[in-house]
Chain A
């Protein structure tokens, strides 16, 4: 059994996604959880590019445009998430997720 290039790309992206998932589930540092979510977003982008590259209609460039928009949204998400981390740090003087249990400071 030999894997095609598309399957290799998909395996790569799913491994990246699972790494991000494990990080988001296991770490208690808020920044690392956010970075795990970023890794999952990047895995989705890899999937878009792989299906654009090996899809039936690569001239349409839909995958590339979609990835550009996804990168823009991911940048906004990272900025807001890190601002939230700093706000949490100002309230409880650390960024452990287990201690962020209050809705109202």
Chain B
């Protein structure tokens, strides 16, 4: 019980700090710490395989992708605070989040949830593999196809250059579009 409270406090504190900070790199690193705390929670709950998947996917892969995206999209100069009122939006977000949190806490505290299963249940990796390859084999195939398509789509989205290749050349030479290429160089 104490371990759960400790893990929850560490995870929530690093997530809150990540969302409050101005520096994006600090935010990304703190969120990585928060994801590691979630992996500790899964370990505490007895789902070891999920914990290792969380470490591999979130702490390892997604944090790297986020860091790369942060570094690739640095603004040339520090961003000014623009007119669409940041303070008002923060206030509205705070009110909305607080209201949702209040509804959740009220519902959880007032509902009689049975707390059975004092010893942690264990699911071995073999049992998980049998489940994945047996009952959920179709879903596993679909997830594989989804991952492939999504990653290919991500590459296409991030790599497409929408400027046509000849356009910049035409601009440099002051040539009207549509003129053949050989004549543009030796015009007097």
* Interface set of A (CB-CB < 8 Å, partner B): 1, 3-12, 14-23, 25-29, 31-32, 35-36, 38-39, 42, 45-46, 49-50, 52-56, 58-59, 61, 63-65, 67-69, 71-80, 82-87, 89, 93-96, 98-99, 105
Contacts and interface: CB of A to CB of B under 8 A. Distances in A.
Contacts of A6: 113-115
Nearest to A77: B150
Interface SS, B side: helix
A45 B42 CA distance: 10
Interface residues of B, number: 83
A25 B101 contact: no
Contact of A80 (B15, B66, B108, B154): B154
Interface string B101-118: 100110011000111110
Contacts of B45: 9, 49-50, 52-53
Interface of B: 1, 4-5, 8, 11-12, 15-16, 18-19, 24, 27-28, 31, 34-35, 38, 41-42, 45-47, 49-50, 53-54, 57-58, 61-62, 65-66, 68-70, 72-73, 75-76, 79, 82, 84, 86, 89-90, 92-94, 96-98, 100-101, 104-105, 108-109, 113-117, 120-121, 123, 127-128, 131-132, 136, 139, 143, 146-147, 150-151, 153-155, 157-158, 160, 162
B35 to A, nearest CB: 7
B41 A49 contact: yes
A8 B93 contact: no
Given A76-B151, A80-B157, A27 B100 contact: no
Contacts of B120: 53
Contact of A31 (B61, B70, B84, B158): B70
Q: Which 8 A-B pairs have the closest CB atoms?
A: A58-B121, A26-B93, A4-B115, A25-B93, A76-B150, A14-B104, A22-B97, A83-B154
B160 A87 contact: yes
A68 B57 CA distance: 10
Given A19-B15, A76-B150, A86 B123 contact: no
Nearest to A61: B123
B66 A78 contact: yes
